Amino acid sequence: MRLNELSDNKGATRTAKRLGRGPGSGKGKTAGRGVKGQKSRSGVAINGFAGGQMPLHIRMPKRGFNKPNRMRWAELNIGRLQIAIDVNKIDAKKLIDGKALVAAGVLRRELDGVRLLAKGLLTTKIEISVAGATKAAIAAVEKAGGKVILPAVEAAKADD
């Protein structure tokens, strides 16, 4: 096979309509754009324009507030953590933290910290350090004989 023998699959490409090439083409003169006016000219973009009336997206009320510096958590369910332990991606004997979870491929990225959620079942005794955890998740880890370390809570206790 040579480069000059390569071609697309049948039906993969369509020939472009040749506009403005005489009356016999069916798309001659105005090229299907109608007669005169803004839209018959080139370089027109009027998305959202409502003919001088106030556009809908401006008429709608503005609600809410997006905090620019809000914290974003990487959420982790204990069931997913148990699966990672079962397939030996994570060593349950060592302290599990955000960096270990990312390295094991359990989380894509740590974001502003990991938040442990209670969905699923945990059977392995683990020690995990996370930025936040639900009460149910902490209870599930402690029921399995493990421990949840929350650095923000630990720092607050140290300050007192």
Residue 61 CA: distances (Å) to CA of 55, 57, 66, 139, 154: 12, 9, 15, 44, 44
Tens digits of residue pLDDT in 74-96 = 999 999 999 999 999 999 899 99
3-state secondary structure of 116: strand
Report residue 44's pLDDT band, with 50, 70 and 90 as the boundaries.
Answer: confident
Structurally, at CATH architecture level, domain 74-159 sits in Ribosomal Protein L15; Chain: K; domain 2 (3.100)
Residue 72 CA: distances (Å) to CA of 104, 115, 132, 142, 146: 21, 10, 11, 26, 26
Tens digits of residue pLDDT in 109-121 = 998 999 999 999 9
* Domain range list for the chain: 18-64, 74-159
Tens digits of residue pLDDT in 48-62 = 888 889 989 899 999
With 0.95 as the threshold, say if the pTM is over it: no
